[in-house]
Amino acid sequence: MPVTDPRPVTEPRLDNLNVSECRRVGEVLARIGDKWTMQVIAELGEGSRRFNELQRAIQGVSQRMLTLTLKNLERDGLVSRTVTPSVPPRVDYALTDLGRSMLQPVRALGEWAAAHIPAMDAARRQYDGRETG
């Protein structure tokens, strides 16, 4: 019979992280916050997509940047790549369970950003006015 730890599993807290752990969190946040990742995650949140479908859906992304973004997300375990042998081969991208677990926080962050754009624009105008005045 396996021995289990009776203590409850707790989520890591940012205020309890050491310097090394903070750097790792920073790496993850940099990946999530880059220009294309949030859009790829959001698009794949609607279901699996082929490369060209993703490229058409994500306005402005180049083939190279979409390829790099998908490779990084696959490497991080957030996206799966499935090749179906056919002529030409069919390649589908989908969120993994780990990737799907990001949908809610990514959407919440996007909604927060959209709701606060006017306040941030006003703060920038005020700040910039101080700099020139």
**Total domain count for the chain?**
1
Q: How many helices (H) and strands (E) does the chain have?
A: 6, 3
Q: What would the pLDDT profile of 29-64 be if each residue is shown by its tens digit?
A: 888 888 899 899 999 999 999 999 999 999 999 999
Whole-angstrom distance, CA of residue 39 vs CA of residue 29: 15
pLDDT band (50, 70, 90) for residue 1 = very low
pLDDT band (50, 70, 90) for residue 109 = confident
Domain that residue 69 falls in:
14-132
Cα angle at 71 between 67 and 76, to 5 degrees? Answer: 150
Residue at 4 is within a domain: no
Residue at 3 is within a domain: no
Residue at 18 is within a domain: yes
